[in-house]
Amino acid sequence: MTTERPTVAFVAGEISGDILGGAIVAALKAQRPDIHCYGVAGPRMVAAGCEAIASIDALSVMGLAEVLRELPHLLRFRRELVQRLLRDRPDIVVGIDAPDFNLGLELRLRARGLRTVHVVSPTVWAWRAGRVKTIARAVERILCLFPFEPAWYAQHHVRAEYVGHPLADELDDSVSLEQARQQLALDTTGPLVTVMPGSRGGEIRYLAEPFARAAHWLHRRVPGIRFVTPVAKPALRAPIEAAIRAHAPDVPWRLIDGDSRTAMRAGDAVLLASGTATLECLLVGRPMVVAYRGSALTAFLMLTLGLLKTRYVSLPNLLCAEPVVPELLQDAARPAALGEQVLRLLQDPAARQHQLAQFADVRARLRRDAGRRAAEAILGVLSTPLQSTAAVAESGTR
């Protein structure tokens, strides 16, 4: 790598990208105090020493309708960013997450001779596998959060490196049920189930009712049982409250604003929607039941037509040595079926321990000091000669 002051341009998306980006920037500066980091950054990245030329909020758009509404702005922002980075010519451009935005950006920049690395693999191993062709042209290396991903990329001749997961560096199972309940001002005794029907309106629409009915089913069978739900954002509180009033009116239930991790830690078991929260639940060491419901069209495309390429949908079952988490999908996510699976975790210590033992193994494998390893990989790319980009230049033109 050059002895001159290296420059790294970052383009990070979402809060999770800022968390990982902050760790990477801090690790880069620890190894090369003279390094200059700048780009699309969040508060953690800025605090670590990254100069922000735009806020991470520019890429924090979720949901199809929201993306379509913001699409003209996003395309204009990407064009301006391409022009800025081509003018600056940083030593390397690092995209963190936001693959729909960043891979197109990286493709254009690499085609014009800039070095590119992408952090956080999109779920190409689960669906839309054809994206791997774009990844191969867009980046010199992709840094993966899960240990099974580099082998998948090797089959497609893409250089990938496992760096570990930043959440595993942050979360563990050291907080007890009692401590978590005290933090939430909950009674420390008696059975408690944490219910998490999702963090988006679509998830609440499909899962709030069956989850509320499952809670009612459990309330009739388990004396003294209570429920707690962390509400991800204020707009979701009303539909969750409506589902509880309609389908579990007499069930002791408390809604709290945010603080999902403490709510998970407070529960004897967790009933939740498939998504990143399942990984957090694994890392904090709480047994879980996972459900997913979507539109009939989504189910047909993913399950019947086979767009979903994995046998399981939850991250714990993809990461554990064997599938240990019950998954109830679409029509299988019936209230009684959900209740029965949760009841088993409440009443069968062996079933709980079987999950938790697997979770501990995964947590150990994911805890790799992801920020430091990603920084080392980025510096490693900078220390190697730049390969010819003639082929990607032609394929990456607008």
Note whether residue 1 is domain-resident.
no
Residues 361 and 382 in one domain: no
What pLDDT score does 310 carry?
56
What's the farthest any 2 CA atoms get from each other in the chain? 70
Residues 112 and 204 in one domain: no
Q: Do 289 and 325 contact (CB within 8 A), yes or no?
A: yes
The DSSP annotation for 307-320 comes to: ---SS--SHHHHHS
What pLDDT score does 331 carry?
87
Amino acid in the structure at residue 244: I
Q: Which residues of the chain have pLDDT under 50?
A: 1-2, 61-68, 300-301, 304-305, 307-308, 389-398
Note whether residue 396 is domain-resident.
no
Question: Checking DSSP bridges between strand 7-12 and strand 288-292, what pairing results, if any?
Answer: unpaired
Residues 311 and 219 in one domain: yes
> Which candidate, 327, 321, 328, 326, places its Cα nearest to that of 357?
321
Q: In whole angstroms, what is the distance from residue 254 CA to residue 259 CA?
A: 13
Could you tell me the two tokens for 176? 């007890």
Residues 175 and 322 in one domain: yes
> Which candidate, 5, 390, 17, places its Cα nearest to that of 167?
17
Q: Do 286 and 262 contact (CB within 8 A), yes or no?
A: no
Q: Which long-range contacts (CB under 8 A, 24 or more apart) does 235-242 make?
A: 235/201, 236/199, 236/201, 236/204, 239/201, 239/204, 239/205, 239/208, 240/197, 240/204, 240/208, 242/208
What pLDDT score does 398 carry?
38
Note whether residue 395 is domain-resident.
no
Residues 114 and 226 in one domain: no
**Mind listing the pLDDT tens digit for each residue in 65-74?**
444 456 677 8
Q: In whole angstroms, what is the distance from residue 326 CA to residue 340 CA?
A: 11
The tally of domains found in the chain comes to 2
Q: In whole angstroms, what is the distance from residue 351 CA to residue 337 CA?
A: 16
Q: In whole angstroms, what is the distance from residue 370 CA to residue 143 CA?
A: 10
Note whether residue 398 is domain-resident.
no
Angle at 257 between CA 256 and CA 261, to 5 degrees: 80
Q: Which long-range contacts (CB under 8 A, 24 or more apart) does 35-39 make?
A: 35/5, 35/6, 35/7, 35/8, 36/5, 36/6, 36/7, 36/8, 37/7, 37/8, 37/9, 37/10, 38/7, 38/8, 38/9, 38/10, 38/90, 39/8, 39/9, 39/10, 39/11, 39/12, 39/94
The alpha carbon of residue 9 and the mean position of all alpha carbons in its chain are separated, in whole angstroms, by 23
Note whether residue 336 is domain-resident.
yes
In our burial notation (b when 16+ CB lie closer than 10 A, e otherwise), range 132-141 reads: bebbbbbbbb
The boundaries of the domain holding residue 302 are: 170-366
Residues 200 and 255 in one domain: yes
Residues 288 and 270 in one domain: yes
Residues 54 and 24 in one domain: yes
Note whether residue 46 is domain-resident.
yes
Residues 79 and 215 in one domain: no
Residues 188 and 289 in one domain: yes
Domain CATH number, residue 88: 3.40.50.2000
Residues in Cβ contact with 388 at an 8 Å cutoff, skipping those fewer than 6 apart: none
The alpha carbon of residue 57 and the mean position of all alpha carbons in its chain are separated, in whole angstroms, by 17
Residues in Cβ contact with 6 at an 8 Å cutoff, skipping those fewer than 6 apart: 32, 34, 35, 36, 91, 92, 382
Residues 95 and 53 in one domain: yes
- Ramachandran assignment for 89, one of left (phi > 0), alpha (psi -120 to 50 degrees), beta (any other): left
What pLDDT score does 69 carry?
59
Note whether residue 266 is domain-resident.
yes
Q: Do 99 and 123 contact (CB within 8 A), yes or no?
A: no
Residues 261 and 287 in one domain: yes
Q: In whole angstroms, what is the distance from residue 308 CA to residue 311 CA?
A: 8
Judge residue 15's burial from the number of C-beta atoms within 10 Å of its C-beta, 0-12 exposed, 13-18 middle, 19 or more buried: middle
Note whether residue 243 is domain-resident.
yes
